[in-house]
Structure 1
Amino acid sequence: MPMIVVMEDDAGTRMLVASVLKKDGYIVLTAEDGEQGLKLVEQHRPALIISDVQMPGMNGFQMLAAVRQNPLISATPVILLTSLQERGHMRLGMNTGADDYITKPFRPGELREAAAAQLNKRAMQAALQSMAVGAAVQTALEDQKHKLAKLYEQRLAKELSDRWPAGDGNSGDERFEQATVLFADMLHYAALAEQLSPAELSDLVKRFYGSAGDTVHLFGARYMQFVGEGMLAVFVDSTDTKSVNHGLRAARAALGLVDSAHRMRLFLRTHFAGHELPRFDVSVALHSGAVTLTRLQDPLHDTMAQTLPVGDAVSATMLLQKQAPAHGWAIAASVSMLRGVTGAVRTGGRALIELPGRSAPLDAAELTGLAL
């Protein structure tokens, strides 16, 4: 089993972290400060380091710098432990080479999730390389060449009737313990509506969401619906995606939507050269959790039914999307979602984002691309 070195000056917290990890079968070595912990890392070369930030002598940042400067251990992933009162530390920690951080007090499940994400990084990178649609999709996201169009046609023709909800009202609710929710919305829609005629606006919406619908279907969305000017999609694990998990497929779809927005900007620039239109942009949010696709039957019409995605993951995703533009992020992803694709994607800024109506902020980061 992988070895983990834990550095924590508080005996109670050190014992808790070690106990949780040992129950999962990991080999755990502990140290009371950064200097002792660094010696253990240099001697045993563990698979993961978990360290408190505030420690006597050598603190967590100094230990992290020493690890990154030693070529024999520089690639070892590091998770920092910090308190909510020390939020400024998370930015410093990520900028100085930390792979993740956890705020204290933390739940044992959060610790397990963060540790597993770092230890599974290599496996995720291998899965990324062997993705069934990897070569075609990578080409598609870069330049949307003719191969993408052909792939769209093949998959849409073969799978549309099987994979999209039929709407016949005969199936019951579908419950998924883990799914990834994607919500995308057009920015500056009101300003565009003010300057374009209804026919022009209709054409714009059809062009963008026609491409967007194809994109989420290409990446195996289980469900999709339009919400106002936005689009909601749910990705779940299924038997025909060849071990590509729902989080990674949702991330690829989100990047595809941002690419579609770029093409829409070129279209507007060409066809509305005389208009001073606002910049066409899309804002996307991703979050993972339990989701239920519930069937709502029309009491007056037995043949008419609708599917409604429900659950905290759905509402949190939609709230996260509303906050993302304030951070300048095209794609905002919760850290819980990103931990499922560690090693397969690149991220930018990270922040604790306050969501209206929720008691605690959501830990989120900017998704910038796929790992190469």
Structure 2
Amino acid sequence: MPLIVLMEDDAATRMLVASVLKKDGYDVLSSDNGADGLALVREHKPDLVISDIQMPVMDGFAMLQALRADPAIAEIPVILLTSLLERAHMRIGMTSGADDYITKPFRPGELREAASAQLNRREMRAVAQATAVEAAVTSALEEQKHQLARLYEQKLAAGLSEKWPESEGGTEDEKFASATVLFVDVLNYAALAEKLTTEELSETVRKFYNNAGDTVHLFGARHMQFVGEALLAVFVNSTDTLSVNHGLRAARAALGLVDAAKRVQKYLQAQFPHHKLPLFSVGVALHSGPVALAKLQDPLHGEIRILPVGDVVNATLLLQKQASNAGWTVVASVPMLRGITGAAQTGGRAMITLPGRTQPMDAAELLSLAV
């Protein structure tokens, strides 16, 4: 309900104006002088001020000057009531910052029209300002999104360089007696590639792996690299993560990747509602044991590249494929689960046959963590 502050020293006129405004549904606060009226404006921040010019204590011109000088109330529209028919006084009122004036005597319809016009103008101005602000914020957020996308790979490279510095000479392998390997692959990737353009598929995969990279970093992976459209990460114990072992951190990362895939699925549903796309989902495998990070020199560029090697790495890749075929989203080998005993909530358990290996692997579906 719009609030109007009325300033009028003549009691009969004040009662008439207030009665007309209240009948139209406005709330009205009244004062018989400019000083008290200005105090009401400062206290209540009304939507409109209607003021007589000739008043005791503070006249309408002085009140208007003080109102426009106060940033907290300067934008409130003001209609002046005057019985001064001379053009000079009208001109003074308008040049002093009045938005409109009504000469006395006036008809109730004139008052209604003037008040309605100012309130509508104020509302339109507020809507226009809000629209402009929203447009500016949207533009800024869009630009920020593109900047973050452009900077992500640079920051990721810098982060890898700082977090995983190369040793002197760059040829000595790193060997870990106990590590957890995480392998995540996008399921239905081929089916998505058939339905989406190259640009759409690139944007979709980028959305997931930008988030995936952040998740893997968050839980302290020692190394990560892409294998086609899949991602391989190695978690080890280190001085800054001794309180949480590598298996538990890898399990948290795996569940975080599943959540990231669900967010991408929502994006696809919103972006391509009529494409009838296959479900965007991932399969994740976790396995623990000895791992080496072999340092290989790139013969073309002379750079040192890291390659995770060992039976654990190979078994993790095979485990992910077989478990996904069985409908498990996150599969963990029993050796890995033993390292987080009491923390893992598991589903089915099975001896999974891995292609090319003589012995099946004892593994279980990881559902959640108790901590």
Task: Report the alpha carbon displacement of residue 278 of structure 1 after superposing the two structures with TM.
Answer: 0.1
The residue that corresponds to 2:370 in the other structure is 371
Task: Report the alpha carbon displacement of residue 171 of structure 1 after superposing the two structures with TM.
Answer: 5.1
Q: What is the distance in 2 between the residues matched to 1:166 and 1:260? A: 31
Q: Say yes or no: does 1:272 pair with 2:272.
A: yes
The residue that corresponds to 2:197 in the other structure is 197
Residue 228 of structure 2 aligns with an amino acid whose one-letter code is G
Contact preservation (8 Å) 1:293, 1:308: yes
The residue that corresponds to 2:357 in the other structure is 358
Contact preservation (8 Å) 1:169, 1:297: no
Q: Say yes or no: does 1:334 pair with 2:327.
A: no
Distance 1:262 1:275, change over 3 A: same
Q: What is the distance in 2 between the residues matched to 1:195 and 1:166? A: 42
Q: What is the distance in 1 between the residues matched to 2:324 and 2:347? A: 14
Residue 202 of structure 1 aligns with an amino acid whose one-letter code is S
Structure 1 or 2, whichever has the larger Rg, is 2
User: Aligned to 1:283, what secondary structure does the other structure show?
Assistant: strand
Distance 1:157 1:297, change over 3 A: closer
CA distances 1:179-207 after superposition (whole Å, capped 9, x unpaired): 00000000000000011000000101111
Contact preservation (8 Å) 2:173, 2:295: yes
Task: Report the alpha carbon displacement of residue 229 of structure 1 after superposing the two structures with TM.
Answer: 1.1
User: Aligned to 1:287, what secondary structure does the other structure show?
Assistant: strand
CA distances 1:200-251 after superposition (whole Å, capped 9, x unpaired): 0010111101100110011000000000110000000000114210000000
Distance 1:172 1:226, change over 3 A: same
Task: Report the alpha carbon displacement of residue 294 of structure 1 after superposing the two structures with TM.
Answer: 0.4
The residue that corresponds to 2:281 in the other structure is 281
The residue that corresponds to 1:233 in the other structure is 233
**Structure 2 unmatched ranges of 5 or more:** 1-147
- How do 1:253-268 residues align onto structure 2 when only pairs under 5 Å count? 253-268=253-268
The residue that corresponds to 1:46 in the other structure is none
The residue that corresponds to 2:305 in the other structure is 306
Distance 1:359 1:188, change over 3 A: same
User: Aligned to 1:238, what secondary structure does the other structure show?
Assistant: coil
User: Aligned to 2:241, what secondary structure does the other structure show?
Assistant: coil
Q: TM-score, normalised by structure 2?
A: 0.56
Residue 281 of structure 2 aligns with an amino acid whose one-letter code is D
Contact preservation (8 Å) 2:186, 2:230: yes
Residue 369 of structure 1 aligns with an amino acid whose one-letter code is S
Contact preservation (8 Å) 2:186, 2:229: yes
**Structure 1 unmatched ranges of 5 or more:** 1-148
Distance 1:169 1:258, change over 3 A: farther
The residue that corresponds to 2:220 in the other structure is 220
Structure number with greater CO (CA < 8 Å, separation at least 6) is 1
Q: TM-score, normalised by structure 1?
A: 0.56
Contact preservation (8 Å) 2:171, 2:296: no
CA distances 1:127-170 after superposition (whole Å, capped 9, x unpaired): xxxxxxxxxxxxxxxxxxxxxx9xx9xx9899654214569972
Contact preservation (8 Å) 1:349, 1:365: yes
The residue that corresponds to 1:317 in the other structure is 316
The residue that corresponds to 2:176 in the other structure is 176
Contact preservation (8 Å) 1:169, 1:305: no
Q: What is the distance in 1 between the residues matched to 2:197 and 2:359? A: 42
CA distances 1:20-49 after superposition (whole Å, capped 9, x unpaired): xxxxxxxxxxxxxxxxxxxxxxxxxxxxxx
Residue 296 of structure 1 aligns with an amino acid whose one-letter code is L
CA distances 1:27-85 after superposition (whole Å, capped 9, x unpaired): xxxxxxxxxxxxxxxxxxxxxxxxxxxxxxxxxxxxxxxxxxxxxxxxxxxxxxxxxxx
165-174 or 320-329: bigger deviation = 165-174
Q: What is the distance in 1 between the residues matched to 2:169 and 2:266? A: 41
Task: Report the alpha carbon displacement of residue 331 of structure 1 after superposing the two structures with TM.
Answer: 0.2
How many pairs were matched up?
219
Residue 246 of structure 1 aligns with an amino acid whose one-letter code is H
- How do 1:49-88 residues align onto structure 2 when only pairs under 5 Å count? none
Residue 343 of structure 2 aligns with an amino acid whose one-letter code is A
- Percent identical: 64
The residue that corresponds to 1:344 in the other structure is 343
Distance 1:254 1:167, change over 3 A: farther
The residue that corresponds to 1:249 in the other structure is 249
